[in-house]
């Protein structure tokens, strides 16, 4: 892995130590810790300031598919991390003690995605066609409920407070209050602003190879709010908008679909890509949507006007990943051409 300086486009640190392909990475809330998982089943913890490996966490028998930190508002020190694997298990790690505190078993196939919500519940999507809801308290984990409904692999998850959890105590300029109490209050304020739309409820959306999405109230109900159909191919990626009002889903059917974030009702489809769409991401103000495709292009869509705003050609091959910086100034993309590209707004 490489940590880059986006201003100079040069690498700050090269992180070497994995014995297999690196498949999952996640930063903690203040960006001081980076955790990565690989095909050999190892989870490595790194200091981003020094580029040094802090520890290696072993226990999974197959490759790591997903990683999730416990939210800042639940654990300001962010000492707990969840990892999902193709060995069907989820492990919760204490990074301070460098040990696995509990193993969450119950899925009958590979874990495909993990999200840790502000309510304290951990959500896991699996190739066994289910989403499971877990409570992790006092280093013990228990299954709260199983969300059934999908007819094929569940590939991806998103929660309505995802963008607020990512920012934590920081604002869009990368600034945060000086005291711990003010930081915690700021993080809670961001989450509460999003929850106003959903009457204070944490909402979860899941996407599957069965071409459908389900919208859930996972903290209190195992029945879905709505089944969202319309895609003609498996769903690769989905994401709530930062304000929680919209959901975008990307599919192999070459389209991105837009849905209401509280009711799940279909709004519109964005068409323009000529190959599968792999990922999508939102601008910080929820006004623009960016999509990455197998057709080697990135497209930016105007949500209000429901039209394509800009096309970003430049990659020489498939574009696998795309993300928008929280301050809204840049988009980063990674492709099969082995290039990372930074785009200015």
Residue ranges, comma separated, of all CATH 2.130.10.10 domains in the chain are 1-148, 200-345
Q: Which residue has the higher pLDDT, 210 or 6?
A: 210
pLDDT for residue 344: 87
Average pLDDT in the chain: 95
Nearest Cα neighbor of 147 from 208, 217, 210, 222 is: 222
Q: Which of the residue ranges 52-56, 118-122, 166-170 would you say has the lowest mean pLDDT?
A: 166-170
Q: For 281-314, write each residue's pLDDT tens digit.
A: 999 999 999 999 999 999 999 999 999 999 999 9
CATH topology for 200-345 is: Methylamine Dehydrogenase; Chain H (2.130.10)
Q: For 153-187, write each residue's pLDDT tens digit.
A: 999 999 999 999 999 888 878 888 989 999 999 99
Q: Which of the residue ranges 45-59, 91-105, 163-177, 224-238 would you say has the lowest mean pLDDT?
A: 163-177
pLDDT for residue 6: 86
* Distant-in-sequence contacts of 223-232, Cβ < 8 A, 24+ apart: 224/147, 224/149, 225/263, 225/264, 226/263, 226/264, 226/265, 227/149, 228/259, 228/264, 228/266, 230/257, 230/266, 230/269, 231/255, 231/257
SS3 200: coil
Q: Give dist(CA 30, CA 13) in Å, integer.
A: 18
Residue 133 banded pLDDT, cuts 50, 70, 90? very high
Residue 23 banded pLDDT, cuts 50, 70, 90? very high
pTM metric for this prediction: 0.95
- Domain 1-148: give its CATH code: 2.130.10.10
Q: For 242-268, write each residue's pLDDT tens digit.
A: 999 999 999 999 999 999 999 999 999
């Amino acid at each position: 892995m490489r940590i880059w300086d986006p201003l100079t486009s040069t690498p700050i640190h090269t992180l070497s130590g994995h014995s297999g392909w690196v498949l999952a990475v996640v930063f903690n809330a203040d960006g001081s810790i980076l955790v990565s998982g690989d095909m050999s089943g190892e989870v490595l913890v790194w200091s981003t300031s020094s580029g040094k490996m802090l520890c290696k966490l072993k226990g999974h028998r197959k490759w790591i598919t997903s990683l999730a930190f416990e939210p800042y508002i639940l654990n300001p020190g962010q000492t707990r991390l969840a990892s999902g694997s193709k060995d069907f298990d989820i492990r919760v790690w204490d990074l301070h003690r460098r040990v696995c505190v509990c193993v969450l078993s119950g899925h009958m196939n590979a874990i495909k995605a993990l999200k840790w919500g502000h309510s304290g519940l951990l959500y896991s999507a699996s190739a066994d066609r289910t989403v499971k809801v877990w409570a992790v308290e006092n280093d013990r984990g228990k299954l709260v409920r199983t969300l059934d409904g999908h007819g094929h692999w569940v590939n991806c998850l998103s929660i309505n407070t995802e963008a607020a959890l990512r920012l934590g105590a920081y604002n869009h300029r990368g600034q945060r209050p000086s005291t711990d109490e003010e930081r915690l209050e700021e993080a809670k304020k961001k989450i509460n602003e999003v929850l106003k739309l959903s009457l204070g409820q944490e909402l979860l959306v899941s996407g599957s190879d069965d071409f459908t999405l389900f919208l859930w109230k996972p903290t209190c109900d195992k029945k879905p709010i709505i089944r969202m159909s319309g895609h003609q191919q498996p769903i690769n990626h989905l994401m709530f908008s930062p304000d929680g009002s919209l959901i975008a889903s990307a599919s192999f059917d070459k389209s991105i679909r837009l849905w209401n974030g509280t009711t799940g009702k279909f709004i519109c489809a964005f068409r323009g890509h000529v190959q599968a769409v792999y990922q999508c991401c939102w601008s910080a103000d929820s006004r623009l949507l960016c999509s990455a495709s197998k057709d080697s292009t990135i497209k930016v869509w105007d949500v209000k006007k429901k039209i394509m705003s800009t096309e970003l050609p430049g990659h020489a091959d498939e574009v696998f990943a795309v993300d928008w910086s929280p301050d809204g100034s840049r988009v980063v993309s990674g492709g099969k051409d082995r290039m990372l590209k930074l785009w200015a707004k």
